[in-house]
Structure 1
Amino acid sequence: MHAPGQRLLNKVAIISGGAGGCGEAASRLFAAEGARVVIVDRNAGAAMELARQIKAEGGEAIGVGADVSRADQVRSAVAAGEAAFGGADVLFNHAGTLIVKPFLDVEEDEWDWLMAVNVKSMYLMTRAVLPQMLAKGKGSIICTSSISAEYATPGEVAYNATKGACQMFARAIAVEFRDRGIRCNAVAPGFIRTAHGIREMKELQAMGVDASEAAIAAQQGRLCEPEEVARAALFLASDEASFVSGAHLFVDNCFSSV
């Protein structure tokens, strides 16, 4: 096993939604652990700036702008990563967002949009990257799920449904490709201190749901920090998790156990 600081040495890691929140934390951490990181984000400027910062700190990274719910843009982003660093060893399907509103107020186009960003993106990214991993005979895929995959919240029917799909997508990929050297797992955070997480809390409270920081502290002790999610993803990405596949790893400080 590699020592700390080298757990992804000589590996190529692609991170979707890699320029902000937990994705940014993972981009920085994976690079610090020796990976050549392909940061894919809808915000191309943020992705390129983060790559610049990582390189300034001695890491290797490129930033690529892409809407990962669009097949053509996914293919272009993955091709750019392969051209820069070679075939991928790690794929972190992190890109995602949420809708908070009463179920009967969710419009069809909103439902379709959330499914595209949170679910279709995993299909497109995984389909694009898997051939590179299969050519190497190994690879690790991590998908960002949520406690919402198993614990429903009022006002989040659409979001909860996408994360349930994420959990089973990871497990099914793991089963289908186990004997070809591919591992696939889901990381399932609780409430996180990111712009996404704070917005979720505010919008839930506006609906009358008790999602204050104090209420969340009662459920999971405190808000999760993005670096804590990144470290869980790092474990799943690394060879330290060589016999971990098809798992749903909660990063929630017992929210799912209380």
Structure 2
Amino acid sequence: MAGRLAGKTAIITGGAGGCGAAAVRLFVAEGARVGIIDRDEAQGKALAAETGAVFAQADVSDEAQVIAAVSNLNASLGPANVLFNHAGTLIVKPFLDITATEWDWLMAVNVKSMFLVTRAVLPGMIAAGGGSIVCTSSISAVAATPMEVLYDTTKGACHMFARAIAVEFRDRNIRCNAVCPGFIRTPHGMREVRDLQALGVDVSEAALAAQQGRMCEPEEVARAVLFLASDDSSFVNGTQLFVDNCFTAV
């Protein structure tokens, strides 16, 4: 089925690489006008040139930069009726070694960013008659991993952010859901594996095969996001879609 986002305008944060870039390509192929927000200007501009999307550079944890980026995309594309809050990163570190500065930084990148971008996008989305918001959470919201207390905490917050936005804005025709991947074959995901292995956590190929069969591909996450973003999921609201091949089911 093609054209599932025909006539829609989408903003994707963290859209320059990994699952975000896979979503940009898929959303464009499905007929959406797509705006990319990312701090990586070179990669973001290259992807925009490749796909016909519009790029706006911003650090999504910075309020002024978010407001400017959303304003620029609104001017180019019109108000968004799809928002994919994907931007985020991770810190893999023993809990007692985490500094307060690191805690505040990761909470800002992974959680505050969703607040800032959603707050900037929602007024236009509501005025346009409604829309769909998808937030990237993780299996780490419900399946704790040693050396990832901080990361797990941020993703638990993303879980509840999506649910609470859905409840507050349902009557204004806004849907908000979370997508929760397992280990993904992206630079982010492969760095997580390396960092965990270096600290003695078993995320070997055999361990991952037992937990989720194989590494998830970014395109598989993008297809799940497409479902939640499109009218195919018109009565799906305030939930979490796990893209983890049974990691959290056993």
1:120-173 Cα deviation digits (max 9, x unpaired): 000000000000111012110000000000000000000000000000000000
Report the 3-state secondary structure (helix = DSSP H, G, I; strand = E; otherwise coil) of the residue aligned with 1:257.
Answer: coil
Q: CA deviation at 1:212?
A: 1.3
Report the 3-state secondary structure (helix = DSSP H, G, I; strand = E; otherwise coil) of the residue aligned with 1:172.
Answer: helix
Name the counterpart of 1:7: 4
- Counterpart residue type for residue 10 of structure 1: G
Specify which of 127, 140, 150 is matched with residue 148 of structure 1: 140
- Counterpart residue type for residue 43 of structure 1: D
Q: CA deviation at 1:99?
A: 0.3
Name the counterpart of 2:30: 33
Name the counterpart of 1:202: 194
1:173-212 correspondence to structure 2 within 5 Å: 173-212=165-204
- Counterpart residue type for residue 85 of structure 1: L
1:52 aligns with 2:49: yes
1:168 aligns with 2:165: no
Structure 1 stretches lacking a partner, 5+ long: 56-60
Q: CA deviation at 1:181?
A: 0.2
Aligned CA RMSD, in angstroms, stands at 0.6
1:63-212 correspondence to structure 2 within 5 Å: 63-212=55-204
2: CA distance, partners of 1:157 / 1:143: 20
1:251 aligns with 2:248: no
Structure 1 residue runs of 4+, over 6 Å off?
none
1:40-94 Cα deviation digits (max 9, x unpaired): 1010121111010003xxxxx1111100000100011101111111010100000
Structure 2 stretches lacking a partner, 5+ long: none
Report the 3-state secondary structure (helix = DSSP H, G, I; strand = E; otherwise coil) of the residue aligned with 1:166.
Answer: helix
Contact 1:45 1:65 in 2 (8 A): no
Q: How many residues align?
A: 250
- Counterpart residue type for residue 26 of structure 1: A
1: CA distance, partners of 2:31 / 2:210: 37
Report the 3-state secondary structure (helix = DSSP H, G, I; strand = E; otherwise coil) of the residue aligned with 2:215.
Answer: coil
Contact 1:134 1:180 in 2 (8 A): yes
- Counterpart residue type for residue 12 of structure 1: T
1: CA distance, partners of 2:227 / 2:106: 28
Percent sequence identity is: 69
Contact 1:87 1:132 in 2 (8 A): yes
Report the 3-state secondary structure (helix = DSSP H, G, I; strand = E; otherwise coil) of the residue aligned with 1:256.
Answer: coil
Normalization by structure 1: what TM-score?
0.96
Report the 3-state secondary structure (helix = DSSP H, G, I; strand = E; otherwise coil) of the residue aligned with 1:255.
Answer: coil
Contact 1:90 1:237 in 2 (8 A): yes
119-128 vs 4-13, greater mean Cα deviation: 4-13
Contact 1:38 1:63 in 2 (8 A): yes
1: CA distance, partners of 2:2 / 2:108: 35
1:94-135 Cα deviation digits (max 9, x unpaired): 000000010000000000000000000000000000001110
1:215-256 Cα deviation digits (max 9, x unpaired): 111100000000000000000000000000001000000001
Contact 1:49 1:63 in 2 (8 A): no
- Counterpart residue type for residue 212 of structure 2: Q
Specify which of 10, 17, 21 is matched with residue 20 of structure 1: 17
Name the counterpart of 1:58: none
